[in-house]
Amino acid sequence: MVTPSKRNALSRFQRWSSTYERSWLQLRFFEPAQQAVLEVMEHHIPTRPNAVLDVGCGTGRLLQSIHERWPDADLMGIDPTPGMVERARQLTPSATFEMGFAEALPLSDASVDVVVSTFAFHHWSDQGAGLREVARVLRPEGHFVLADAVVPGWLSRFLPWSRLRSPAQVHILFQQAGWHALHQQSTVTGWVLITVGRNESAAGENECKHEPCE
């Protein structure tokens, strides 16, 4: 269901899609965070992925960089905004792009090795449902790399209506969805949190089981 607030957000991103590539946020905020995501992927994902999904892909900038590092991987981006999907198809012909929401991914079960998502998590209407969908489409031992703006734990207590999460809250959401949070780190001067998750059934000896990861 598309709520009024979500409809307003989609309209805002639709208007933004024509200038998104030229936004000052790309250089100052998005690109440094995406570079950090790529470095985390190389360090914490042990094998080259055969298929990668970007949830909330925008114009596909992250998938462009993933293609440069893993040119043989099948790449797919999902975004709910028609304008973003149209621009992504123009800018990144090496990937496939479809419209869709995190809570209802248009993919079959166990169809990708890695799922990434940057700066989209706080827009998900049901974050728990979205995490369960990510688990559904991942193959055994698949990984999820989530990057989103973060709020300090003390501040999150005063923002119960916000979908911006503290590191501890992200950790709990991962556990509730059946994930192990293998790694958490802050980047972009502490304003962005990257969390790497793996299905519980594939957990090994090095996961952070009860506390926010270092």
What's residue 20's pLDDT? Answer: 79
Band (pLDDT 50/70/90 cuts) for residue 199 is: confident
147 and 85 Cβ atoms separated by less than 8 Å: no
Mean pLDDT of 120-137: 93
Among 162, 134, 130, smallest CA distance to 149 is for 162
End-to-end CA distance of the chain: 36
| Pairing of the two strands 179-187 and 96-99 | unpaired
CA–CA distance, 162 with 155 (Å, rounded to integer): 11
Superfamily of domain covering 24-201: Vaccinia Virus protein VP39 (3.40.50.150)
Dihedral angle computed from the Cα positions of residues 165, 56, 192 and 166, in that order, rounded to the nearest 10 degrees? 10
Average pLDDT rounded to a whole number, residues 14-42: 85
* Contact (CB, 8 A) for 186 and 152: no
Q: Is the pLDDT of residue 83 over 50?
A: yes
pLDDT digits (tens, 9 = 90+) for 65-75: 999 999 999 99
Q: What mean pLDDT value characterizes the chain?
A: 84
- DSSP conformational letter for 60: S
209, pLDDT greater than 50: no
Of 8-17, 122-131, 135-144, 197-206, the least confident? 197-206
From 177, 174, 164, select the one nearest 195 (Cα to Cα).
174
Lowest mean pLDDT among 45-59, 63-77, 118-132, 167-181: 167-181
Task: Report the pLDDT averaged over residues 3-22.
Answer: 72
Rounded distance between C-alpha atoms, residue 102 and residue 136, angstroms = 11
The pLDDT value recorded for residue 181 is 87
pLDDT digits over 42-53, tens only?
Answer: 998 888 899 999
